[in-house]
Amino acid sequence: MQIQLNGEPYRLNADSTLATLIESLGLAGRRIAIEVNEEIVPRSLHAETPLHAGDRVEVVHAIGGG
Amino acid sequence: MSSVSHDTPLTVAGRPFASRLLVGTGKYRDFDETAAAIEASGADVVTFAVRRTNLGQNPDEANLLDAISPSRYTLLPNTAGCYTAKDAVRTCRLARELLDGHNLVKLEVLGDDKTLYPNVIETLAAAETLVNDGFDVMVYTSDDPIVAKELERRGCCAVMPLGSLIGSGHGLLNPATLALILEQAEVPVLVDAGIGTASDAALAMEMGCDGVLMNSAIAHAKQPALMASAMRKAIEAGREAFLAERMPRRASASASSPFAGRINA
């Protein structure tokens, strides 16, 4: 199935969860925050949050800024 | 602070901070330069931005939060780059998740690319939503005293008018309106944006500002760590001068040495 990941189309298995997506991106354990369809998904819920075709996922982190 | 001063800490939403200098982390060459400048600034509060993670390129890329430890500094996520209340609110919620529930944020909603001037209509709307959602909101705004008061009424914990445009280094262009904001404020007032050099920061503090937030003035100095040290001293000097209450200005001279006992008397 296809989702929108940080504004770009992204293909993944139909049974994916947020946790498996993060794992496949090499971001497990990194300091990131995630929004699915404009709602925050807390870290504690990543493993039990299934992804669906068309979901809009944002993965963000901290960068320098003033 | 020297032993002669009896200052109270800057307190924002019940959080005391020893330093009245708040610094950003943008525009540095690398994280080492960032860390050295922040160390030299003595700041307790350090701002950062929230952006999309680069995916699939370099997952081992260094992370700002490794260089600037959340256990040592109070991290202040900002909403820089947001042009709508909606985006600013989303960014704050992402930042709260990023920092495990930490709810102190710097709200800024910008008007356009050229001026980065605050869009106060969107800022007011975002402030209201964020306060209702449990955030402690330090808010970047114009130097309009009416807007500053409205933001305070909406529950912002600090009001942060610009000294001049973000990154411009023009210093305090309108001290008269800043004075009006200071006179009426019941929450801390910090100058945020426009500081160019140490005297700008000292002036803000001498006027009675509770603190100053800056980024470019340090990061774009040729020697950022040295400028950070200068800013630290300027903030302390300005604060002490404010507490000491300056002498009145006089139209004519007033001799410091006594007239009595002069040899030609």
Contact A64 B25 (CB under 8 A): yes
pLDDT of residue B221: 97
pLDDT of residue B3: 57
- Name the average pLDDT for chain A: 95
Q: How far is CA B215 from CA B46, B193, B212, in A?
A: 10, 8, 10
Helix (H, G, I), strand (E, B) or coil at A21: helix
pTM of the entire predicted model: 0.93
pLDDT of residue B23: 97
pLDDT of residue B60: 63
pLDDT of residue B57: 64
Contact B63 A61 (CB under 8 A): yes
Residues of B with catalytic function: 106
Q: How many CA atoms lie within 13 A of B21 on its CB side?
A: 31
Calculate how close chain A gets to B101, using CA atoms only, in Å.
10
Strand order in the sheet with B158-161: B104-107, B136-141, B158-161
Contact B94 A40 (CB under 8 A): yes
- Chain A interface disruption, residue of B22, B98, B162, B231, most A CBs within 10 A: B98
CA geometry: angle A29, A34, A35, nearest 5 deg: 170
What residues of chain A lie within 8 A of the CB of B50, using their CB?
33, 60-63
Q: How far is CA B115 from CA A9, B82, B168, in A?
A: 34, 14, 9
Label the pairing between strands B10-12 and A39-40: unpaired
pLDDT of residue B4: 61
Q: How far is CA B37 from CA A66, B22, B27, B44, B196, in A?
A: 14, 12, 12, 13, 16
pLDDT of residue B54: 86
Q: How many CA atoms lie within 13 A of B235 on its CB side?
A: 27
pLDDT of residue B36: 95
Contacts of B133 (CB under 8 A, 6+ apart): B89, B93
Q: What interhelical angle do B175-184 and B145-153 show, nearest 10?
A: 30
Mean pLDDT by 10 residues, chain B (265 residues): 73 97 95 94 97 77 83 95 97 96 97 96 98 98 98 98 96 97 98 97 98 97 98 98 96 92 86
Max CA pair span of chain B? 87
Q: Does B57 touch chain A (CB under 8 A)?
A: no
Quick: pLDDT tens for A3-35: 999 999 999 999 999 999 999 999 998 899 999
Is residue B23 within 8 A of residue B47, CB to CB? The reply is: yes
pLDDT of residue B5: 62
Q: What is the token pair recorded at B103?
A: 């709810």
pLDDT of residue B69: 87
Calculate how close chain A gets to B189, using CA atoms only, in Å.
17
A to B CB pairs, distance under 8 Å: 101
Q: Does A25 touch chain B (CB under 8 A)?
A: yes
